[in-house]
Amino acid sequence: MLAFAVKRLGLAVLVALTVSLITFSMIYVSGDPAIAIAGEGARAQDIEAIRQFYGFDRPILVQFFDWLAGAMRGDFGRSYTLRQPVADVIFERLPVTMILGASAIAFALLLAIPLGVWAAVRPNSMIDRLALTIAVVGQAMPTFWFALTLVLWLGVNWRLLPITGSASWQNFVMPAVALGYYVTPAVMRLTRAGVLEVLSADYIRTARAKGLRPGTVLFKHALRNAIIPVVSLAAVQFGFMLGGSIVIETIFQINGLGYLAWESIQRKDLPTMQAIVLVLSVIYVLLTLAADLLNAFLDPRLRVT
């Protein structure tokens, strides 16, 4: 088990390094970053001054390792626009996004898993068709449009929930729903498929033959095995949500990482952009690692690798 975890951790580090390299080289996609910062119509000596100030005149690899060394220390440099160390801003805003992501995935799972289980236990029934309809509709609606519609109805017309800010838990309800429902169809389908498949397994027949009650058969025996792929999917989706929260955060004006990313992109605040991408990637990698470990816990057969 330990060897397994260590090996996966090593892979995670490698991925994070590669992502950071790619992120770093993003600056150079646009051509000379010094020009981008200086803006149009800047004088040559101003551009040169900027270049020297930010160290763009050094070889690329040197810049990369310098940045990386700093990143590992937790120092992402200073924001071009916010007059703060990037690290401070990021870790100030990160918890908000994590809360949003966590509530969104919680909403998605609380809706999708029971629905998927129910649909699997009663295939081709009304509930199955309902679940399928929810899945189909959920996958087709653009997130931002759904969010706007929620704002219009729940926020304005019926005045049930606040529409901006991140002051209290009510502020997170609509954003969580808008962000989470997009994941619901995939989780629901996977749960349904998994439970259907598991229910026809031999060991379920054995469980019934032992006289176990239907609830025990379903929840103790079937679900435990069926949930395994769902765990991986949920972890991956959580990771995507953290990255995709940008749309929701801008609509609801929630001061999270996504909103910060939005601002820094608009202002071409490169260090912040790079740092955010790196932080999100590391979190994603850690999430998949956690999912793998959880899987190994759930399925004893996986513990050998």
Partner 1 sequence: MSARVLTVEELNVALPVPAGRLHAVQGVSFHVDRGETLCVVGESGCGKSLTALAIMDLLPANAERRAARLELEGENLLRLGERAMSDIRGNRMAMIFQEPMTSLNPAYSIGDQLQEALRRHKAVSRSEARTRAVELLERVGITAAARRLKQYPHQLSGGLRQRVMIAMALMCQPALILADEPTTALDVTIQAQILHLIARLQREFNMGLVLITHDLGVVARIATRVAVMYAGEVVETGSASQLFSGPRHPYTRGLIACIPVPGRTRRGAPLGTIPGLVPSLVGHIEGCHFTRRCPHATDACRTGAVPLDTVVDGHHVRCLRHRELATGAAPPPPVAVA
Partner 2 sequence: MAETSLPRADLPTLPEILAPSPAALLRRRIFRHWGLLVGGSILTAILAMALLAPLLAPFDPFDQQLDRKLIPPIWHSSIKATWAHPLGTDQLGRDYLSRLLYGAQISLLIGVSAMLISGVIGTTLGVLAGYFGGRVDMLVGFIVTTRLSMPVVLVALAVVALVGSSLTVVIWVLGLLIWDRFAVVMRSATQQVRAREFITAAEALGASTSRILFTEVAPNVVNHLIVVATLEMAHAILLEAALSFLGLGVQPPTPSWGLMISEAKGLMFFDPWLIAIPGIALFLLVLAINMLGDALRDVTAPENRN
- N- to C-terminal Cα separation, the chain: 8
Task: Give the residue with the Cβ less far from partner 2, 166 or 239.
Answer: 239
Of 18-26, 42-50, 92-100, 222-230: span binding partner 2 (CB under 8 A): 18-26
- In total, the chain counts a number of residues equal to 305
Q: Which is nearer to partner 1, 44 or 209 (CB)?
A: 209
- The token pair at 164 is 């901006």
Nearer to partner 2, 99 or 141 (CB): 141
- Asked whether position 190 contacts partner 2 by CB under 8 A, the answer is yes
Residues that bind partner 1 (CB under 8 A): 201-203, 205-214, 216, 221, 224-225, 298-301
Angle at 92 between CA 87 and CA 97, to 5 degrees: 110
Report CA-CA distances (Å) from 231 to 13, 43, 65, 68: 22, 55, 36, 32
Beta bridge partners of 78: 85
Smallest gap from residue 1 Cβ to partner 1 (A): 13
Q: Which is nearer to partner 1, 88 or 299 (CB)?
A: 299
Asked whether position 290 contacts partner 2 by CB under 8 A, the answer is no
Determine the Cα–Cα distance for residues 177 and 193; give it in Å rounded to an integer. 24
Nearer to partner 2, 5 or 136 (CB): 136
Residue 180 sits in the site that holds partner 2 (CB under 8 A):
no
d(CA 151, CA 201): 45
Q: Which of 28, 32, 69 is nearest to 48 (CA)?
A: 32
Could you give the CA distance from residue 10 to residue 231 in angstroms, rounded to a whole number? 22
Query: Which residues make beta-bridge pairs with 85?
Result: 78
Minimum gap (Å) between residue 248 Cβ and partner 2: 11
> Least distance from C-beta 110 to partner 2, angstroms?
20
Report the residue number, 124 or 266, with the smaller CB distance to partner 1. 124
State whether residue 56 is helix, strand or coil.
Answer: coil
Contact 43, 34 (CB under 8 A): no
Number of residues that bind partner 2 (CB under 8 A): 54
Which of 16/207 has CB closer to partner 2?
16
Asked if 15 interacts with partner 2 (CB under 8 A), we say yes
- When asked if residue 236 is in the footprint of partner 2 (CB under 8 A), the reply is yes
Q: CA 111, CA 182: separation in Å to the nearest integer?
A: 12
Collapse the DSSP code of 281 into the 3-class scheme (helix H, G, I; strand E, B; otherwise coil) and give the result: helix
Q: What is the DSSP letter of 164?
A: S
Residue 9 as a binder of partner 2 (CB under 8 A): the answer is no
Q: What residue ranges bind partner 2 (CB under 8 A)?
A: 11, 14-16, 18-19, 22-23, 26-27, 29-30, 36, 136-137, 139-145, 148-149, 152, 156, 189-190, 192-193, 196, 236, 239-240, 242-244, 246-247, 250, 258, 261-262, 265-266, 268, 273, 276-277, 280-281, 284-285, 288
